[in-house]
């Protein structure tokens, strides 16, 4: 390895000649623009040390795009949950690469990365969405350090702007559920059954759409939740994915009414199987499906839900509100947060408490209002007796 220096146009330049240990080829690295020769010598010595002790870092000119796709396939694909992998891939292709374009991995600096985050804020993305995109880049850069491709993680110390997304829980009020289910039944039997099942179980739409008959235990009156349907799957092999989180895998009890509905539905479905024979998708074995046994398209569910709400004269809501509706019904019937957490498959008790705290508070206020009305009625009926009792209590130490 040899180092030489020269002065050009009033600025110093260093030039290092070295042998690539992998290809055995002679290569050269140079940098110019130093005011003095000692400055050039100092930087050259740093680069020489890197070439001797950390060749990959010093010599690599890998592009960010090349690295991120390699990171996805080598360290994430088949390691993390399918949904997590898809999220990382979407963040890379939709946000990160369109912004950084053909930049080299090691050229990304903290100030540059902060401008990227600020650009997402200016596009009015929610703080939570920016945090998810940031987590992809942060994890990828941490692995790049481990692989000796960069010296430091440019995402560390960055600031994510924005306000927390409004976490108001939207649900169908218990007084509106009969009108909703009536409108759903008139709209279409299978949609009535699908949405009714969501209300009665609190399951996510993907979890319900992925249910197979082997997941239903009629004897124990339970349903096993261990997968979710990928509505964007390009092949049958990709249809079933992991649930949202580890705690999402669960077995819950079904009501007697829902068990009876499923038994009736199975009879109806068996008739379709006999009538359609080979045309029916026996291989999927889905509980909730089209008449030919194929999956229910996401667009059909969304459109049906929107139209049913309108027919029932209920304000527009997302389908996910049916999951919240179930949780609110559990609260109204006196169940505690721990039971709700386990039934919904939340990752922690705190998540459940945070999401439904204001609903619980509202129920507490209603309970106190009922108590106050009841107590006031007692005082009206026999004020002297109440006063005498209160006075007697006060005289005791």
Q: What is the pLDDT of residue 364?
A: 64
**CA angle (201, 208, 127) in 5-degree steps:** 90
CA separation for the pair 146, 323 (Å, rounded): 41
Tokens 């080598």 -> residue: 74
Mean of per-residue pLDDT scores for the chain:
86
Tokens of 118: 């600020």
Name the DSSP class of 297: P
Collapsed DSSP state (helix, strand, coil) of residue 315: coil
Instruction: Dump pLDDT digits (tens) for 345-388.
Output: 987 777 777 777 777 666 666 666 666 676 667 656 655 554 45
d(CA 173, CA 220): 30
Do residues 145 and 152 touch, judged by C-beta distance below 8 A? yes
- The topology under which CATH files domain 64-146 is DNA polymerase; domain 1 (1.10.150)
User: Tens of pLDDT along 67-94?
Assistant: 999 899 989 988 887 778 889 999 999 9
Which among 172, 180, 215 is positioned nearest to 326, based on CA atoms? 172
In 3-state terms, what secondary structure has residue 28?
strand
pLDDT digits (tens, 9 = 90+) for 96-154: 999 999 899 989 999 999 999 999 999 989 898 999 999 999 999 999 998 878 889 99
User: How high is the pLDDT of residue 390?
Assistant: 42
pLDDT at 381: 60
Q: Which CATH architecture has domain 174-331?
A: Orthogonal Bundle (1.10)
User: By C-alpha distance, which of 74, 70, 110 is closest to 92?
Assistant: 70
| Domain 174-331 in the same topology as domain 64-146 | no
Q: What does the pLDDT read at residue 55?
A: 52
> Helix (H, G, I), strand (E, B), or coil: what is residue 251?
strand
pLDDT mean over 165-181: 85
The average pLDDT across 320-348 equals 88
Q: Report the pLDDT value the prediction gives residue 363, as an integer from 0 to 100.
A: 67
pTM of the model: 0.65
Cα 299 from Cα 157, distance rounded (Å) = 41
The tens digit of pLDDT for each residue in 295-315 reads 999 999 999 999 999 999 999
**Range in 198-212, 238-252, 303-317 the model is least confident about:** 238-252
Looking at residue 212, what DSSP letter applies?
B
DSSP 324-379: HHHHHHHHHTT--HHHHHHHHT-S-HHHHHHHHHHHHHHHHHHHHHHHHHHHHHHH
Mean pLDDT within 244-256 = 87
Q: pLDDT value at position 386?
A: 44
Q: Using an 8 Å Cβ cutoff, are 187 and 311 in contact?
A: yes
Direct distance between the N- and C-terminal alpha carbons of the chain, in angstroms, rounded to an integer: 94
Q: Give the sheet arrangement for strand 250-253, strand by strand.
A: 216-217, 222-225, 250-253
Q: Report the alpha-carbon distance of residue 392 to residue 250 in Å, rounded.
A: 55
Are 330 and 339 in contact by the 8 Å Cβ rule? The answer is yes
CA 231/CA 302 separation, integer angstroms: 12
Query: From CA 41, how far away is CA 13, in angstroms rounded?
Result: 9
Ranges of each domain in the chain? 2-59, 64-146, 174-331
Can you list the alpha helix ranges (DSSP code H) found in 123-248? 127-146, 177-187, 189-201, 205-209
* Count of residues in the chain: 397
CA distance 351 to 326: 16
Q: Which residue carries 């000649």 as its tokens?
A: 17
According to the model, what pLDDT value does residue 46 have?
80
240: β partners: 229
Helix axes 337-344, 349-381, angle to 10 degrees: 140
C-alpha 112/C-alpha 109 separation (Å) is 5
Of 287 and 74, more confident: 287
- DSSP letter at 93 equals I
Phi, psi of 281 (to 5 degrees): -85, 70
Instruction: pLDDT band for 389, please (50, 70, 90 cuts).
Output: very low
């Amino acid at each position: 390895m040899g180092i030489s220096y020269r002065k050009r146009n009033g600025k110093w330049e260093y030039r290092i000649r070295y042998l690539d240990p992998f290809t055995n080829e002679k290569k050269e690295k140079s940098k110019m623009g130093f005011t003095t020769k000692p400055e050039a010598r100092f930087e050259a010595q740093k680069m020489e040390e890197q070439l001797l002790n950390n060749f990959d870092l010093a010599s690599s000119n890998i592009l960010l795009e090349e690295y991120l796709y390699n990171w996805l396939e080598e360290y994430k694909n088949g390691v993390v949950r399918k949904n997590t992998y898809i999220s990382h891939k979407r963040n890379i292709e939709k946000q990160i690469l369109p912004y950084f374009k053909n930049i080299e991995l090691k050229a990304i600096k903290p100030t540059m990365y902060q401008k990227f985050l600020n650009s997402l804020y200016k596009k009015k993305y929610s703080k939570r969405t920016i945090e998810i995109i940031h987590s992809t880049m942060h994890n990828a850069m941490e692995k790049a350090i481990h692989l000796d491709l960069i010296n430091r993680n440019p995402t560390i110390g960055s600031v994510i702007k924005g306000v927390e997304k409004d976490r108001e829980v939207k649900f169908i009020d218990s007084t509106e559920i009969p009108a909703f289910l009536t409108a759903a039944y008139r709209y279409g039997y299978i949609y009535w059954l699908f949405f009714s099942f969501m209300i009665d179980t609190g399951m996510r739409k993907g979890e319900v759409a992925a249910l197979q008959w082997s997941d239903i235990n009629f004897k124990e009156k339970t349903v096993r939740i261990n997968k979710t349907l990928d509505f964007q799957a390009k092949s049958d092999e990709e249809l079933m994915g992991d649930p949202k989180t580890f705690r999402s895998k669960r077995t819950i009890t079904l009501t007697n009414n829902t068990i009876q509905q499923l038994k009736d539905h199975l009879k109806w479905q068996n008739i379709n199987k006999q009538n359609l024979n080979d045309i029916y998708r026996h291989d999927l074995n889905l509980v909730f499906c089209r008449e030919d046994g194929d999956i229910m398209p996401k667009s059909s569910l969304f459109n049906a839900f929107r139209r049913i709400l309108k027919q029932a004269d209920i304000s527009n809501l997302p389908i996910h509100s049916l999951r919240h509706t179930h949780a609110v019904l559990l609260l109204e019937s006196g169940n505690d947060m721990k039971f709700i957490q386990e039934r919904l498959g939340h990752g922690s008790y705190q998540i459940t408490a945070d999401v439904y705290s204001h609903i619980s508070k509202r129920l507490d206020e209603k309970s106190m209002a009922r108590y106050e009305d009841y107590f006031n009625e007692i005082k009206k009926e026999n004020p002297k007796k109440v006063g005498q009792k209160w006075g007697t209590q006060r005289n005791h130490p």
